[in-house]
Amino acid sequence: MIDLHCHILPGVDDGAKDIIYALAMAKVAEQEGVTTIVATPHHQNGVFINEKQLIQEKVNELNARLKEEGINVNILPGQECRMYGELLEDYDLGKIQTVADSKYVLVEFPSAQVPRYAMQMLYDIQLKGLTPVIVHPERNQVFMKKPDMLYQFVKNGSLTQVTAGSIAGTFGKKIKKFSLDMIEANLTHVIASDAHNTTNRNFHLQLAYDEVQQEFGENMVYFFRENAEIVVENTHVMIEPPERIKEKKFFGLF
C-alpha cells in the first residue's frame, strides 16, 4: 500500500516533532500494510518553509534511520503546496518538490476559501506539464457548499485526493458524507492519510478502504490503490467522467 500524503519528516512542520515521532509513525504505517510513504511537508504556510533540496536531504536521512531500525517502509520526497501566485515561478527555481519527482504536484487550498485565481492557476500548472492534485477538498467549506466548483476543476483536468480519516469519519459526519458523495460522483482519484502523528491525525488507511469496499465494492478499492501506485510511477492515473453532486444530497447538511 502506498500513502501519497504524510507529514512524517521530523521537525520540519506540524507533523512528526522529531525522529522518535517519525519512527513511531512509520511503525504504525507498517502495521497497516503501508510499504511506501511520500513525505509531504508543507511548502510554506507562514510558519514553515520546506523547499525541494531540504526535503530530499531529510528523506535520505529518514530512510537511513528506518533501515537501521529495521522498519520496512520506504520514504519518497513530496510536498504540500498551498496555492499562491508565485507557485510556478518557484517551481522553475527548483523550490517545488513534486510527488516522487513525478509530474504530479499536491496543491492545497485554505480550508475556508478558494482563491479567485484558482481556475487559471490550475490551468497554468497543466500548461507547465504538471498535473495538480487538489488535497483534502472534502474539508474545504467552499467545496462543501458549492460542489459544482470542484466539479469544474476536475472536469478541466485537476485530480483530487481525499483524506482517509474523512472517509473513516474521524472529521465528522458531514465531511464523511461529502467524501462518499465525491467518490460516487467520480470527483476524487486518490486516498491518502495526511497523517501528522499517531494520535488524533493517524493514518486510518485500512479503515478508509474498508469503508470504500462496503459502500462501493472491491473494484473501487482497487481503483484508488492502483492510482496511488500510478502516481509514484509517473504514468497516467485512471479517471472516470466526473459528475455533478446532486444538490438534494445536501438538504439539511448546512
Spans of all domains in the chain: 2-250
**Beta strands of the chain (E only): which ranges?**
2-6, 36-39, 74-77, 80-82, 104-108, 131-135, 159-163, 190-192
Rounded to an integer, what distance in angstroms lies between the CA atom of residue 232 and that of residue 78? 10
Query: Do 32 and 26 meet the contact criterion of CB atoms below 8 Å apart?
Result: no
Q: H helices within 87-172, ranges in order?
A: 87-92, 118-127, 141-145, 147-155, 164-168
Provide φ and ψ at 23, rounded to 5°.
-65, -40
pLDDT digits (tens, 9 = 90+) for 144-159: 999 999 999 999 999 9
**The three cell numbers locating residue 79:** 510536498
Q: Burial level of 63, CB count in 10 A (0-12/13-18/19+)? A: middle
Work out the pLDDT band at 254, boundaries 50, 70, 90.
Answer: very low
Helix (H) or strand (E) holding 222: helix 218-233
Instruction: Give the model's pLDDT for residue 49.
Output: 93
Q: Look at domain 2-250 and name its CATH class.
A: alpha beta
pLDDT of residue 222 exceeding 70: yes
What predicted TM-score, i.e. pTM, was given to this entire model? 0.95
How many residues belong to the chain? Answer: 254
Instruction: Tell me which of 253 and 245 has the higher pLDDT.
Output: 245
